[in-house]
Structure 1
Amino acid sequence: MLKSYEAIYENGEVKWLDEKPTVETARLIITVLEEKVESEKKRRFPPASIAGKAKLLGDIVSPIVDEEDWECLK
């Protein structure tokens, strides 16, 4: 019976993400996914040239425009 396991290959080592196989020896078929795992993606930051230039217009919880003025509610 075939069973799939998820792992990351890093610096010559296999790191199991969930359940680890319970066999002593096994033949493996490995599929390499070129994209990075979501948790490994770098966090993006805005450029320093826009630092301090944002302005809040009104309350950040309620809209600045009255609901009656919304075009989508007509």
Structure 2
Amino acid sequence: MLKNYEAIYENGRLTWLTAQPPIQNARVMITILEETSPPTNRRTPPTSIAGKGKTLGNIISPIIDEQEWECLK
């Protein structure tokens, strides 16, 4: 009968993540789960628009007056 136990193999040693099985000798089958990060599909703007962005107006002062801010009411 097959039973599953979870452990981490590191530098030739097993560290059990669950209760250690109560056995002295056993035949084992090892499944290796490789830790891979999924590839990120980053969007990039077309090179034809490089350097064409413009800052319009004053980026420091707010667009509307403080008296009109709803969050301060």
TM range (shorter): 0.3 to 0.5
TM-score by length of 1: 0.46
Mark the structure with the bigger radius of gyration. Answer: 2
TM-score by length of 2: 0.47
